Amino acid sequence: MAEEDVQIELKFRIYDGTDMAHGTYPLSTTVVSLKQRLMADWPQDKSVIPKSVSDIKLIHAGKFLENNKTLAESRVHFGDLPGGVTTMHVVVQQPPITNKNTDKNPERQNFCSCSII
């Protein structure tokens, strides 16, 4: 059976335990296309909403999946039970918020005022 013929049933669990984008995907599906689907289906009532595909990280079997790889290349395995669903965890990693009030002088930011007696 060709790789593109093999299908895997996936669901994606976000930070609050909500499952989304439950469906059957070919093993030839890329990780970035899964992230695009998640962006399109993301519930707008959540407190954390990704702004771009790069904000989303997919975790399977304790590993972050790489955007340019397919599900087969990422070694996504089937559930142990026939007809089982594989759950992937979704983490939204937004860029850090910079404080506009901080001094932009790098020498001053690394300054330590400790006194050792």
How much is the pLDDT for 20?
Answer: 94
CATH number of 3-92: 3.10.20.90
List the chain domain ranges.
3-92
41 with 10: CB under 8 angstroms? no
For residues 66-82, average pLDDT: 80
Higher-confidence position of 79 and 18: 18
- DSSP code per residue over 22-87: EEEEETT-BHHHHHHHHHHH--TTSS---SSGGGEEEEETTEEPPTTSBTTTTTPPPPSSTT--EE
How much is the pLDDT for 84?
Answer: 79
Residue with tokens 């002088």: 105
pTM of the model: 0.73
How much is the pLDDT for 104?
Answer: 56
By mean pLDDT, which of 50-54, 77-81, 98-102, 104-108 is the weakest? 104-108
How much is the pLDDT for 75?
Answer: 87
50 with 56: CB under 8 angstroms? yes
Residue with tokens 């013929």: 5
